Amino acid sequence: MGLLLDIFGDDDLVIRPAQKSDLSEILKIYEQARRKMIRSGNPDQWKDSRPSQADVCEDIERGKSYVAVYGQEIAGVFAFIIGDDPTYKKSTADGAAQKVTAQSIGLPQKTEKAGFLTYA
């Protein structure tokens, strides 16, 4: 079961929990995202192979990974984590942890477009 969004006309976008059988498609999407981030000037956020296959598997097992299915294809993936995610903390010069936000790493402000949160 998933969340059905009827925003694309004839085909529906379904958001559902990711399954282990989705892993290969999820990893392809993250690889495409890494390449796009590098091309757009953000080569450091997901260096090499972040998120790792192990991280993705853990998110699936814990029920934190979701896929967006458009028609019959997985069109997107995200991890939905409530609360602080240690992945987005960084250490300051004095060793204290600091929460990383879009603003603290220089990303543009978020805007809402067609029901999705995007960055302008």
- Indicate the SS3 state at residue 55: helix
Q: Give the N- to C-terminal CA distance of the chain in Å, as an integer.
A: 32
What distance in Å separates the CA atoms of residue 98 and residue 117, rounded to the nearest whole number? 24
Domains and CATH numbers, the chain: 1-82 (3.40.630.30), 85-120 (no CATH)
Residue 43: what are its φ and ψ, rounded to 5°?
-80, -5
Which pLDDT belongs to residue 120?
37
| pTM across the whole model | 0.65
Report the residue count for the chain.
120
8 pLDDT more than 90 = no
Of the two residues 50 and 77, the one the predictor is more confident about is 77
Q: DSSP character for 20?
A: G
27 pLDDT more than 70 = yes
What is the torsion angle, in degrees rounded to the nearest 10, for the CA atoms of residue 19, residue 1, residue 9 and residue 81?
A: -60
Instruction: Write the pLDDT tens digit of every residue in 98-110.
Output: 554 544 444 444 4
